[in-house]
Every structure is written in C-alpha cells, then in structure tokens.
Amino acid sequence: MSLILASNSQIRRTMLEQAGVEFAVRAPDFDENQAKQAHSLDGEKLARLLAEGKAASVTVGPNDWVIGSDSIVIVDGVRYSKPRDRDEAAAHLRAFSSRTMLLSSAVALAGGGHVDWTHAETARLEVRPMSENFIQAYLDAEWPAVGLCVGVFRMEGRGVTLFESVEGSHFTILGMPLLPLLGALRARGVLQS
C-alpha cells in the first residue's frame, strides 16, 4: 500500500513530512481553472470539488491511496485565485485590506480513481488595513513565493503580518485540514492507530 500526494504545494508536503507520514508526490492531471469556471459554488463546496478532482485524477494501484487538496479564498463575495503576476498580487492585497477573508480548504482521499472520503473547513481571517508602502514592501520580501498562494500569503512566512485576527484551524489556513486527514488515514489502515 502506498500513499500519493497529488499536489505541487510545498507546504502540503511539509505538513505531511512533519507529521511523519510517508508518501510520494505526483502532479494531479486535473484542470482546476476549468472546474472553477464551471461552478459558482460556495468556498467549501468548490474546494471539496477541486480536492476530489485532484485525488481522482492520479492513477494508482488497487491498494493505493491518493490525497487531493485545494483552497479557495472569498472576500466580499468575490472568489480570488492565485495572482497571475506581481501587479495582480498587489491589486488583490488592496482589495483584501480591512476586509474579512474566508479561506476554505478541503482534502480528499481516493483509491482506484474513486473518491472515498472528503473533508472541508473554512477559516475566517480579518485583514488589517494595509498601506501601499506596506503592500510593496511585503511583495518585495515575499514575491514570487506568494504568487503560488491563493490569498497572496504564506502564514508560515510574513503573511501573518496581514491579519488582525484569525478564527479556524491553522492547518486549514496552511491549505489542508491535516487532523481530519490523519484520522481518515488511520481509519483506512494507512497510518497506525
């Protein structure tokens, strides 16, 4: 039995490694942009759909499991994707300033191309007022790494300075509800219980 992480995300890899989980990494064969354009679902439902699509897109043996995960950011009813460039990242940060960010992360397990389990959670992040000087200095320090992050922040880096308060699981904010995933892996005998 093997475990595959269908993700290009370094932080998701790091979370699993720090938890002592043995896994391999394979890029998912799933067009998330097409799925996003086809659905106007709420954050948790869309994150779940994307996580399931990624998990089911990786072909594995009959006893193997695939983890898929994704995150969605919504601010004032607008869904944001990863910025295309630094200018768009700055525009996103301006739009987030003094607003509430809803960050939904989902994780799914698939075996044999079929989704067996999913879980989604939403965290609420209160973004502090940010000046243009702060936004530019932040991007000077964090770009291009935050260009790979929905929400234009890495909580494990300087992204923590964007917020006044946070409600929700730290792992959900990092991009994958880790504790429910570990429980699902134990229930399936992938991890010791």
Show which residues are catalytic: 70
- Sign, CA torsion 149/147/52/1: negative
**Contact (Cβ atoms closer than 8 angstroms) between residue 57 and residue 35:** no
Residue (of 107, 98, 88) closest to 47 by Cα position: 107
**Contact (Cβ atoms closer than 8 angstroms) between residue 65 and residue 21:** no
| Core vs surface per residue 129-152: b (16+ CB within 10 A) or e | ebeeeebeebbeebbeebbebbbb
